[in-house]
Structure 1
Amino acid sequence: MLAAAALLAGCATDPPVPPAPGAGSPVPTAGRPVTLTVGVYGTFGMKEAGLYDAYMRLHPDVAIRQTSLSRTDVYYPQLLTHLTAGAGLADVQAVEVGNIAEVVGTQAGRLADLAHAPGVRREDFLPWKWAQARTADGRVLGLGTDIGPLAVCYRKDLFAAAGLPTDREEVGRLWAGDWRKYLAAGRRFAARAPGGTAFTDSASGVMAAVVSGAPLRYYDAAGRLVVAANPAVRAAWDLGAAFARDGLTARLQQFTPDWDRGFAHGRFASVTCPAWMLGYIQDKAGPAGAGKWDVARAPRPGNWGGSFLVVPSAGPRVAEAAALAAWLTAPEQQAVLFERRGSFPSARAAFALPAVADARHPYFGDAPVGRIYSAAAREVPVAPVGPKDGLVNQILSDTGMLQVDQTGRAPESAWRAAMKAIDNALDR
């Protein structure tokens, strides 16, 4: 990236991102003395938003090359293998939030401390996001890229047909402060629901949303698994089961072709909706859904999703890589990533920037999504993230609640089966 320490220090005062993607040719990389690699999964968005090209314009000595694997379940095991071996790593690597606790807990000696990288300021980030990648001795091994603060997306036409309010402020007041009010709204909807429609997509989606806002979830602060004994998890389970029992869901499994078709065919009237899901809904519901969907505040704040950038300490250019990671996650760049790709910033300092504060989404009735999601993000509680959070959540949803929702299995029987599956998966 940079050839001298003096230039490294200058990264803290780099100007905001220059021209938007498409404003000129891509930056050529040939002949640059320093090449930094960035390893990601899926379509991470930084390249597509033009951030790499912007950085290379600011730093003519640097070439950035990205590698990507489409699936997290392939990417992450390879990342752990390469970290253990100290070889085969990119200079900067992405880590999904469900894996960050395991990375921090087991790979701390193999990752650089980014707390004092050029331009990094703790106060710029949401406290709960900063804490997720911090070690017990205060090192910060990952810088947050994006988050998934929760709202509820809903179909105005279906709400109107069922006699529910459609104005987003009134809709938010229907269930403000309590997920049980969301259940009550579902029962009201069911009493006059248009034929072939359900109030929400899945019991698992409701359960996950409720858990996402709890101050204690699957692990405690000491890293002990507490899922079976945590009343907050059990309350979320019971609420999801109530949605299934009362016939308020479309009985769909999220991220399946049937779920996608549910958006397209208007099979459900609402869905718990992190910021990144706006683009997903627009894609799956298509032009026919434009103006029918809107966004209201969730009953309680929560977060679903998000990622980090880490810098392996075995790399040949750790300082340069740390400076790149710091720049990519700075508030100005996070605001650009939101504006161009819809990834909501984990840097709270970005919330006041016009690209976030003034953001509206025309597909969702010109909803003020910047304001809605910023407010939700600020209220998410700091909660311990365990090493197998993602796996535990998957088992609860797919082995447990999905059976309640789709087959009518008794909630208590499905709970016991899920707890047993979690113990088996974690070799307990």
Structure 2
Amino acid sequence: MPLTRAATQAALRLGAVALAGSLLAACGSGASDSAADKPGGKVTLTVDLFGSFGYKEAGLYAEYEKLHPGVTIKQTDTEDEADYWKSLQTRLAGGGGLADVQGVEVGRIASVTQQQADRFEDLRKYGADGLKNQFAEAKWAAATGKNGEVLGLGTDVGPEAMCYRTDLLKQAGLPTDRDELAEKWSTWDGYLELGKQYKAKAPGKSAWLDSVGSLFSIMIGQEEERYYDASGALIWETNPALKTAWEASVEASGAGLSAKLDQWSPQWNQAFAAGSFATLPCPAWMLGYIKGQAGETGKGKWDVAALPGGAGNWGGSYLAVPKAAKNKKEAYELIKWLTAPEQQAKIFAKQGNFPSSTGAIAEVAGTTDPYFSGAPIGKIFGDAAKAAPVQVLGVHDQNINQQITNALSEVERKGLAPEKAWENAKKGVANTLG
């Protein structure tokens, strides 16, 4: 789940240089014991991911291969995380076809720690317990098993903001200044009201937002408890915060504010360049995706403002090593390096994935992005990351979210009555949970 960032790279590089000596020294002893560093030793490390983590785009694989002669990195990736996870489950069950490094989305990490700890390496055996202070507390805790196993290293987190098209808002007679907009849509009611004003004068066939499913996901990402409570009990049907997010999404659909585009679909991808929607609730990792889809013609047309309703988190991932991996120690050395502070800072500069490393968060605080009209993304997403709740994660978070957003899609695209859609969501969740 990931992005793009060219702004203030010089400053980031200076920070990276300052950290590089100590970090490379820390990684050095482990790397010297790998197969690739033995005379004539060669190893090909396979990495299997979803979405765009940005490692190839930021040149990190090439950099790592240069630092570790004999290592070759080969990455495969699946755009849709749901398809990726289904395939991973099949391969974990069979024990074959697994990569040395597998990505795990934050909505799945509880499944790994609570149900699949025996299928992934406990990274403590390679010294990972010494990295704990390098990561945000919540990020580290989420990948820790019930017996203290370290089952993955955190890549990014998903602090949330609002991305918007300044040109479309201007044509509709609305303000474009990020601070003024943040004040006008400080609440979700304010955001929907502004959307209704936009619809009245919308340029072309553009809509206020891409889909009500994305609105729901962002709103529920502002809550500490979403689908499970702290005891592990399912609460999604009775959670008042979830009901509020559902009702706001239904209101947006009924008011005709949505472009009715399923996220990650080909039509959604094409809509970025076509200017089909004016606003997009966006976690930090979405910035790179926007750049990739909107292309150079979108540069300077987008901006970023604070999110309605306060801070939240949507997304973030981990890198894990399956027990069936062929090169477990070398795989650990790679993920340790990829998730080190200076690499996380580089990824934010290139892709927009907001760091889970505390050291990298400080490094990127002053980052701005010319693509997004010079928006101070380091501050906007940094403030959101600091204020975001520590979320309760459950085994089936991702599956429950998918069923609800599927139901909302039926409301906006098929005109299904919200009450019927809610019943469909309940049935879908029941079938998913078995």
For 1:84 and 1:63, the matched residues in 2 are separated by 28
Counterpart check, 1:132 vs 2:139? no
Q: Deviations over 1:210-248 (max 9, x none)?
A: 011111111223333322121111111001011111222
Match for residue 241 of structure 2?
A: 232
Deviation, 1:419, is 0.9
Counterpart check, 1:298 vs 2:307? yes
Counterpart check, 1:397 vs 2:405? yes
For 1:130 and 1:262, the matched residues in 2 are separated by 36
Q: Deviations over 1:314-359 (max 9, x none)?
A: 5565444333322221111111122233332221320222xx2332
Q: Contact (CA 8 Å) 1:29, 1:64: kept in 2 or not? A: no
Match for residue 15 of structure 2?
A: none
For 2:274 and 2:97, the matched residues in 1 are separated by 45
Deviation, 1:158, is 2.4
Q: Contact (CA 8 Å) 1:12, 1:119: kept in 2 or not? A: no
Match for residue 123 of structure 1?
A: 133
Percent identity of equivalent pairs: 44
Matches within 5 A, 1:342-381: 342-353=352-363, 356-381=364-389
Deviation, 1:110, is 3.2
Q: Secondary structure at the match of 1:339?
A: helix
In the alignment, which of 415, 424, 427 is matched to residue 431 of structure 2? 424
TM-score (norm 2): 0.83
Counterpart check, 1:311 vs 2:351? no
Deviation, 1:16, is 10
In the alignment, which of 248, 258, 275 is matched to residue 249 of structure 1? 258
Match for residue 106 of structure 1?
A: 115
Q: Secondary structure at the match of 1:384?
A: coil
Q: Secondary structure at the match of 2:367?
A: coil
Work out the number of aligned pairs and report it. 403
Q: Deviations over 1:91-130 (max 9, x none)?
A: 3322222322111111212333336835853333233322
In the alignment, which of 126, 149, 152 is matched to residue 142 of structure 1? 152
For 1:258 and 1:317, the matched residues in 2 are separated by 39
Deviation, 1:313, is 4.0
Runs (4+) off by over 6 Å = 28-31
Counterpart check, 1:202 vs 2:206? no
Q: Contact (CA 8 Å) 2:48, 2:99: kept in 1 or not? A: no
For 1:424 and 1:368, the matched residues in 2 are separated by 44
Deviation, 1:201, is 1.7
Task: Tell which deviates more after alignment, 365-374 or 306-315.
Answer: 306-315
Q: Secondary structure at the match of 2:46?
A: strand
Q: Contact (CA 8 Å) 2:103, 2:320: kept in 1 or not? A: yes
**Distance of aligned partners of 1:202 and 1:124 in 2 relative to their CA distance in 1, 3 Å threshold:** same
Q: Secondary structure at the match of 1:39?
A: strand
Counterpart check, 1:274 vs 2:278? no
For 1:290 and 1:403, the matched residues in 2 are separated by 33
Give the letter aligned to residue 239 of structure 1. A
Q: Secondary structure at the match of 2:291?
A: helix
Q: Deviations over 1:335-391 (max 9, x none)?
A: 1122233332221320222xx233222121111222211221222211122222222
Counterpart check, 1:289 vs 2:295? no
For 1:404 and 1:74, the matched residues in 2 are separated by 24
Q: Secondary structure at the match of 1:352?
A: helix
Task: Tell which deviates more after alignment, 224-233 or 185-194.
Answer: 185-194
Matches within 5 A, 1:32-43: 32-33=40-41, 35=43, 37-42=45-50, 43=52
Give the letter aligned to residue 366 of structure 2. D
Q: Contact (CA 8 Å) 2:195, 2:208: kept in 1 or not? A: yes
For 2:212 and 2:266, the matched residues in 1 are separated by 17
Q: Contact (CA 8 Å) 1:126, 1:348: kept in 2 or not? A: yes
In the alignment, which of 401, 413, 424 is matched to residue 420 of structure 2? 413
Q: Contact (CA 8 Å) 1:291, 1:365: kept in 2 or not? A: yes
> C-alpha root-mean-square deviation of aligned residues, in Å?
2.9
For 1:336 and 1:283, the matched residues in 2 are separated by 17
For 2:311 and 2:40, the matched residues in 1 are separated by 46
Matches within 5 A, 1:120-199: 120-176=130-186, 178-199=187-208
Q: Contact (CA 8 Å) 1:157, 1:292: kept in 2 or not? A: yes
Q: Contact (CA 8 Å) 1:128, 1:381: kept in 2 or not? A: no
Q: Contact (CA 8 Å) 1:133, 1:143: kept in 2 or not? A: yes
Deviation, 1:418, is 0.9
Structure 2 residue runs without a partner (length 5+): 1-20, 28-35
Q: Contact (CA 8 Å) 1:223, 1:386: kept in 2 or not? A: yes
Structure 1 residue runs without a partner (length 5+): 1-10, 18-27
For 2:343 and 2:256, the matched residues in 1 are separated by 44
For 2:121 and 2:236, the matched residues in 1 are separated by 31
Q: Contact (CA 8 Å) 1:117, 1:326: kept in 2 or not? A: no
Counterpart check, 1:65 vs 2:73? yes
Give the letter aligned to residue 111 of structure 1. F
Q: Contact (CA 8 Å) 2:113, 2:146: kept in 1 or not? A: no
Higher relative contact order, structure no. (Cα contacts within 8 Å, ≥ 6 residues apart): 2
Deviation, 1:134, is 1.9
